[in-house]
Chain A
């Protein structure tokens, strides 16, 4: 069955530190991959997406993600975290552009000053 796994439920980092959020997928073929951020009172916002091509994807707010086929992973990274990055982050995948999204369980990021 298709699935998306985010192994880390909760992560705490200090402001200015680097960040990596893990995401693994289980699909028959390489899916379309997405990272979303959810802040309280706001809708999910797309940070970045990967369909094909360059495996290092740049997104908004200074985030990037790297697709690794051999590891079935699509980890999200940021070199220096800001307090405003504290939020819930969801990795999602779909088997095709117009197919439904399957979300991971989410990782809650806390940022210490």
Chain B
């Protein structure tokens, strides 16, 4: 149980285009989803927290107009990187926390590698 998927697993896009990454909780309802960014050989940095039906809360320094997050249902959140540039190339990871999960655990997706050329 508690499986989170991401799609696509990797994507290459041209500079200036937008790309959407999906994060789905497959077997549970996720009240809260998190989006992280991980640079090579570095740690995970939280970008934003989204609660179903509400606007996402972005961490300091994260451009909310560039990284659009939508959490329209209890099983799906999307991250859209708008007008992508090479510096946006990174590994993006989502996690989800359930509605009735009192263990506070976040379940992580496998990540999406974005390369902007």
Contact = CB atoms under 8 A, between A and B. Distances in A.
Interface residues of A, number: 22
B32 to A, nearest CB: 8
Given A43-B4, A98-B104, A103 B110 contact: no
Contacts of A108: 41
Nearest to A88: B41
B44 A90 contact: yes
A11 interface: no
A44 B110 CA distance: 7
A19 interface: no
A104 B43 CA distance: 6
Contacts of A32: 104
A101 B46 contact: yes
B30 interface: no
Main secondary structure of the interface of A (DSSP, over half): loop
B105 interface: yes
Contacts of B42: 105-106
B93 interface: yes
B104 A105 contact: no
B104 A103 contact: no
A34 to B, nearest CB: 8
Interface string A36-66: 1000011111100101000000000000000
A103 B44 contact: yes
Interface string B6-49: 00010000000000000000000000101000000111111001
Contacts of A51: 104
A24 B45 CA distance: 18
